[in-house]
Amino acid sequence: QVDGRVKHFFSIYKKMVNQGKSIDQIYDLFAVRIYVDTVKDCYAALGIIHEMYKPLPGRFKDYIATPKENMYQSLHTTLIGHSGIPFEIQIRTYDMHKTAEYGIAAHWKYKEAADGMTPDMQEEEKLAWLRQILEWQQDMSDNEEFLQSLKADLNLFSDQVYCFTPTGDVKTLPADSTPIDFAYAVHSAVGNRMIGAKVNGKLVPIDYKMQNGDRVEIITSQNSKGPSRDWLNIVRSTQARSKINQWFKHELREDNIVRGKESFAEYCRSHGINVKKISKQEYMDEVMQKYGFKDWDAVYAAIGHGGLKEGQVINRMVELYDRDHAAKVTDEDILNELDEKTRQSIKRKRNGGIVVRGVHDVSVRFSKCCSPLPGDEIVGFVTRGNGISIHRTDCRNIMSMTDSDRNRLIEAEWDKSSGSASNDEKYTAELSIYANNRSGLLVDVSREITDSGIDIMGMNTRISKQGVATITISFEIHNTEELKTITGKLRSIPSVIDIERTVGG
């Protein structure tokens, strides 16, 4: 069977832009596809065609002998037609065409339905890529990291290099791959013990960029201390990156456990949390179930290598403890168990670092509608039976009050004595970020905040019909100066239009 097609104008334009070529350098404006029954027929048809037309040098690709990573197979050749215009021919079997058009999973399903049998060894090889994806997913604890890595790997299918082991086996790698990528393509043990590489018989640096046809020999040593974290900045393949990360998680587990224990204890000390009281087995079991760990050392290890924040774990344990002891423990009970420094901190926090004119021994709380911070001008509102709520003076709820409610407003200010508004105390802030929606926007926003050492408390997103994303995000900071700094960083994110602070209403 033979069919043909003419490349669409838009496809021509995209190829010119993406590859930086002129229209004279596009050789597949016209293409012919030939379908045959067997692989042998593919090469026979190629020989006949090359006798009829002059092939263009350097434009022949044998994807049958060296399939792409997604198992695409065909022979591609560019010929000079009788009128002098180049055109492309693709030659493939009918089975190869099903794989190319519908994917390897659909091809496997077709094969199974045809003979009622499970896939044979050849079909198993065609599914190896899918199994590799599952392996990557298991190695990566972060779903976003897995998604970005998979997208990057898919984008590289059109730009690959084919290299050979000393025994002649072919390894397909992304363009610009290094000997490190090659080593992990052979086996994770080879990559972990690698100390150098030879390409075509010559020693090369580990950041050497592989070329098509390179013959690569990986030099290993039993005395190797394992991969370096710097390798993560060099490798190109998802497989190598995931295996290196996996090595650090498993081989350095003891170090990560120690580091995690220290971080856990330090967080509790800095936040005045009693470790013994929250470390009940039932609380630990619930945390392990939530995050999918089998033992508590695995939790410490995850904290140690950065896969889990100690605050996430501890705050959950505190919530569970507070739930069980809500009516049993008073502030004074806790104060009696703390040292003098922590005791003063807790006393300040009970009043929120706020001075209310003419009022003493009254419960003071911060309103959630406008989330005041040290540095804001504030005012108190005497509620009916719920103490005094503190608002920013520009809060919409304050600005829109009736005259009768305004009579309940009282003066309030931040307590500057005894270091009440100290750097140890954090307050909740909320921002609304408006941006043109794009892939990776939420990742960029959350990364900018967490990289600044700030804990995110909540996030909500909605997209308008015009494609404008509104991201409402709350987090804990110390004062308005810190808020100004993080707002400036968020404004520098590409596609961000404007940022507003929540003012109630």
The region of weakest confidence among 4-8, 62-66, 182-186, 421-425 is 421-425
Confidence of residue 155 (pLDDT cuts 50, 70, 90): very low
Query: What integer pLDDT is reported at residue 158 of this predicted model?
Result: 47
Mean pLDDT of 351-356: 62
Query: What integer pLDDT is reported at residue 115 of this predicted model?
Result: 43
Q: Which CATH superfamily is domain 2-104 in?
A: Beta Polymerase, domain 2 (3.30.460.10)
Query: What integer pLDDT is reported at residue 190 of this predicted model?
Result: 93
Smallest CA-to-CA distance from 150 within 230, 242, 232 is with: 242
Return the DSSP state at 417: G
Of residues 434 and 466, more confidence is placed in 434
DSSP annotation string for 54-116: EEPTT--EETTTS--TT----EEEEEE-TTS-EEEEEEEEHHHHHHHHHHHHHHHHHHHHHHS
Whether pLDDT at 170 is above 70: yes
236: CB partners within 8 A, 6+ apart: 156, 173, 174, 175, 176, 177, 178, 181
The 10 Å Cβ neighbour count of residue 470 is: 15
Distance, CA of 389 to CA of 381 (rounded, Å): 5
Distance, CA of 476 to CA of 463 (rounded, Å): 25
Residue 333, helix vs strand vs coil: helix
DSSP annotation string for 180-227: HHHHHHH-HHHHHTEEEEEETTEEE-TTPPP-TT-BEEEEE-TT----
Mean pLDDT of 22-48: 86
Rounded to 5 degrees, φ, ψ at 250 are: -95, -50
Return the DSSP state at 406: H
Query: What integer pLDDT is reported at residue 382 of this predicted model?
Result: 82
Pick the CATH number of 156-236 from 3.40.50.1240, 3.10.20.30, 3.90.550.10, 3.40.1280.10: 3.10.20.30
400: CB partners within 8 A, 6+ apart: 505
Mean pLDDT of 277-282: 90
Mean pLDDT of 241-258: 81
In the chain, % of residues over pLDDT 90: 16
For the chain, the average pLDDT equals 78
Convert the pLDDT of each residue in 206-243 to its tens digit: 999 998 878 899 999 888 888 887 898 899 888 898 88
Distance, CA of 28 to CA of 147 (rounded, Å): 32
Query: What integer pLDDT is reported at residue 132 of this predicted model?
Result: 61
What is the CATH number assigned to the segment(s) 427-501?
A: 3.30.70.260
Query: What integer pLDDT is reported at residue 177 of this predicted model?
Result: 93
292: CB partners within 8 A, 6+ apart: none
The region of weakest confidence among 173-187, 338-352, 408-422, 487-501 is 338-352
Rounded to two decimals, the pTM is: 0.35
In the numeric block, the tokens 């397909």 are attached to 172
Distance, CA of 223 to CA of 338 (rounded, Å): 50
Query: What integer pLDDT is reported at residue 353 of this predicted model?
Result: 64
Query: How large is the C-alpha radius of gyration of the chain?
Result: 32
